[in-house]
Amino acid sequence: MKFIPSDLPGVMLITPDVFSDERGAFWEVHHQEKFAENGISYQFIQDNQSTSRRMVLRGLHYQLVKPQGKLVRVLQGKVFDVAVDLRRSSPYFGKWMGCILSGRNRQQLWIPPGFAHGFYTLSNWAHVSYKTTELYSSQTDRTLLWNDASVAVDWPLIDGRLPMLSVKDANGVPLEKAEVFE
């Protein structure tokens, strides 16, 4: 496994070592010791999966109480995955990073607690799987507005068309009004 730090400290792109032959392929998704050696020593306690059609945008989500760290990967399809630093004490507060995750590149994105997370589906369908370090809490779940101008995520919108959003995501809060982390 290769652990590649992003421009946002703590957010890391993880590329597996893939072993392929005529039968198919094998790679590790999680190896506790290798993760710990690279600064990811959290225990994962919940696994989630979602499917999304082309042009669906999910996010930008975060939890105030018991914030979740997320290890995100795409099993099938392709998404543009985004993390936004919501730690007010961070010099990177309000900054974002994005990357392509796909079933082909097999990469994962580690997003530590204190960040908002979201993704935009680029393929006809995408099957996304992610591990979390805390259980989901609907009472403390929050949504940062996906197109907040002060954050300015450069979403690769297909043909410049608006994404498909849930009501919750369409009603996200801009950063200046969002409840964030200290």
Of 130, 148, 108, 121, the closest CA to residue 57 belongs to 121
Residue 117 bears catalytic tag = no
Q: Which helix (H) or strand (E) holds 104?
A: none
The one catalytic residue in 61, 62, 117, 120 is 61
The one catalytic residue in 42, 62, 120, 130 is 130
Q: How far apart are CA 82 and CA 85, in angstroms?
A: 10
Residues ≥6 apart with Cβ < 8 Å to 139? 65
Position 136: which residue type?
Y
Give the phi and the psi of residue 33 in degrees, each rounded to 5: -65, -45
DSSP helix/strand/coil, 31: coil
Instruction: Enter the tokens of residue 135.
Output: 């259980």
Active site residues: 61, 130
